[in-house]
Structure 1
């Protein structure tokens, strides 16, 4: 730049000493030099603008890099935490599966125990039907809520208003006793039922007394046939569990009945389940 100014000064000094032709040439040279200067100035300004933009871009990239480093650090920490959680989750899942497996095995054992009980129940029904027979309409042998029962009509067992059993009843009860004696793990519960006609005679005050008295008469008959008294239960339901409405003579006769439930000893049944559970626990150890 200094050289150019110096040249111009020199040109002015010499202009008075040079010819018009030389002056014109110098003037053209000066214009060319000025154009170059202007072009250089524009390029310089452009370069300075590009430099400023580049520096701003560099700062932006630095900020992005810093953010990426921080994000990467957070991801690494999260990955570590996730790894720990995943390992813990896998451990908990394994424990849950083991617990479910153990529970499933317990359910299977209980189901096996119930199936065994059902098999015994079916065998008991078969034995009763074979021994007692089903040729009499006054005798019903069936299963109610997985419990075997024999239902005997009032006219088969007792005379009207009486709790003394008939000879025919003794014959049937003898066959029932044979089956009960063949199942030492079972008990027999005798349940008496009456109609709704009020009853009072002698020491009996009402139908409660009559239903229980008839049940105890059956219990004594079974005891006489060899059934251990410790396996016998006497119960009365009075008229409060009718099969049909007590609105005519036929229905009243239907409701006057005695049911003999042949049931497994509850304590032995639970002992069987408890034994299964102990065996399962021993296997788990």
Structure 2
């Protein structure tokens, strides 16, 4: 009986030991699963956090990339704009350089023409002075003024007092002058009659206007008809008493004012044409 009880107790104890062992094993297994689950959840949470961080970083990078792309496009546009402006400036500069070159050529051409004109005027002055060398200073004077040659002949040389008829001595002077004029095809000749302030009223002349105009016309008629000066290059006019060169209150002054001026001026047609281009 004792053996039976002892055996039964041993079996019970053994059975109890086996069950406890199984329980511990089962309990350990359950705990390991919970731990793994906890670890997995923690790793999942960490992964989610990491993904969130990466997503945020990616969004930041995308935003920065978009801004950078916008800046690059702006810079490209600005660069293209600057290039366009530079091209425009270069084109404008080249145009102005060409215009400047053209202006410089025109200025040089004008300067050459003016120099040539001055040389012709000086040569004309020399020719007139040489031709009229035999006449006294109280009979006529020759001078250069404003690019023109002026020959002032006194009425003492050309006319009697109150007359428009040219006398012999005056015709000699006009003949000498005509020799010079006939060699000059590129000049204009202006004949101007001048008087003093003493009034005149005769059958032939109503006033000094009449006297100055008719005296100028008489000189033109002699130059053209008697000495062959081209009528197309000569023009008469009367100035009356209104362009004095001396004081009309003195005898000497009035004598200087009673004169006929022959003005020779080179034609300026070519200069005017160049200036109007």
TM-score by length of 1: 0.69
1:73 deviates by 3.3
Matched, 1:194 2:185: no
Q: 3-state SS of the aligned residue for 1:188?
A: strand
Provide the C-alpha distance between the structure 1 equivalents of 2:61 and 2:135, rounded to a whole number of angstroms: 103
Q: 3-state SS of the aligned residue for 1:205?
A: coil
Please, which of 255, 258, 278 is the counterpart of residue 257 of structure 2? 255
Provide the C-alpha distance between the structure 2 equivalents of 1:93 and 1:217, rounded to a whole number of angstroms: 61
1:243 deviates by 1.2
Q: 1:62 and 1:77, CA in 2 relative to 1: closer, same or farther beyond 3 A?
A: same
Provide the C-alpha distance between the structure 2 equivalents of 1:63 and 1:195, rounded to a whole number of angstroms: 101
Matched, 1:270 2:269: yes
Provide the C-alpha distance between the structure 1 equivalents of 2:204 and 2:168, rounded to a whole number of angstroms: 24
Please tell me whether the aligned partners of residues 193 and 236 of structure 1 are also in contact (alpha carbons under 8 angstroms): yes
Alignment of 1:225-236 (within 5 A): 225-236=227-238
1:108 matched residue in structure 2: 108
Please tell me whether the aligned partners of residues 178 and 223 of structure 2 are also in contact (alpha carbons under 8 angstroms): yes
Q: In angstroms, what is the RMSD of aligned CA positions?
A: 3.1
Please tell me whether the aligned partners of residues 147 and 265 of structure 2 are also in contact (alpha carbons under 8 angstroms): no
Provide the C-alpha distance between the structure 1 equivalents of 2:187 and 2:246, rounded to a whole number of angstroms: 30
Provide the C-alpha distance between the structure 1 equivalents of 2:64 and 2:156, rounded to a whole number of angstroms: 102
- My pick for the range that moved more, 145-154 or 182-191, is 182-191
1:175 matched residue in structure 2: 176
Give 5+ residue unaligned stretches, structure 2: 1-57
Please tell me whether the aligned partners of residues 180 and 187 of structure 1 are also in contact (alpha carbons under 8 angstroms): no
Q: 3-state SS of the aligned residue for 2:190?
A: strand
- My pick for the range that moved more, 203-212 or 148-157, is 148-157
Provide the C-alpha distance between the structure 1 equivalents of 2:61 and 2:157, rounded to a whole number of angstroms: 106
1:161 matched residue in structure 2: 162
Provide the C-alpha distance between the structure 2 equivalents of 1:247 and 1:62, rounded to a whole number of angstroms: 105
Alignment of 1:109-148 (within 5 A): 109-133=109-133, 136-138=136-138, 139-148=140-149
Q: 3-state SS of the aligned residue for 1:165?
A: coil
**Per-residue Cα deviation, 1:133-170 (whole angstroms, up to 9, x for no partner):** 17611321112211112111122211211111222111
TM-score by length of 2: 0.70
Q: 1:132 and 1:84, CA in 2 relative to 1: closer, same or farther beyond 3 A?
A: same
Matched, 1:96 2:62: no
Please tell me whether the aligned partners of residues 208 and 238 of structure 1 are also in contact (alpha carbons under 8 angstroms): yes
Give 5+ residue unaligned stretches, structure 1: 1-57
Larger Rg: 2
Alignment of 1:10-89 (within 5 A): 70-89=70-89
1:92 deviates by 1.5
Please tell me whether the aligned partners of residues 113 and 273 of structure 1 are also in contact (alpha carbons under 8 angstroms): no
**Per-residue Cα deviation, 1:18-67 (whole angstroms, up to 9, x for no partner):** xxxxxxxxxxxxxxxxxxxxxxxxxxxxxxxxxxxxxxxx9999988766
The number of aligned residues is: 224
Provide the C-alpha distance between the structure 2 equivalents of 1:63 and 1:198, rounded to a whole number of angstroms: 105
Provide the C-alpha distance between the structure 2 equivalents of 1:245 and 1:75, rounded to a whole number of angstroms: 82
1:21 matched residue in structure 2: none
